[in-house]
Amino acid sequence: MTQRLHLVFGGELVDPTKNAFKDVAAIDIVGMFPNYQTAFNAWKAAAQRTVDDAHMRYFIAHIHRLRDEETAGSTTEELGG
């Protein structure tokens, strides 16, 4: 069975019209969630806590889309490059 993992994270952006974080070391990792609905609920709660700050933004990353374990990695990927 494929897990559909979702990562919720956010932080202060350099510019609210872009997706570049002001300080990567200060990114708030809300958590990893087993499905979109729980990730969405966590994202919504985090976003609502910071609604008054236009530079704060939270995102949902679909971790399960980044890697398909059934597909072999490239030679470079296997070497860590």
pLDDT of 53 > 50? The answer is yes
Cβ-contact 9, 27 below 8 angstroms: yes
Q: Residue 2: its pLDDT value, please?
A: 66
- Amino acid 65: pLDDT: 80
List, for residues 3-51, the tens digit of each pLDDT value: 789 999 999 999 999 999 999 999 999 999 999 999 999 999 999 999 9
75 has pLDDT over 80? no
- Cα separation, 37 vs 23, in Å, equals 28
Tell me, what's the pLDDT at 35? 92
* Amino acid letter, 66: L
pLDDT at site 81: 47
Q: What is the dihedral of CA 70, 34, 11, 52, to 10 degrees?
A: 140
Q: What is the CATH number that goes with domain 6-78?
A: 3.30.70.2400
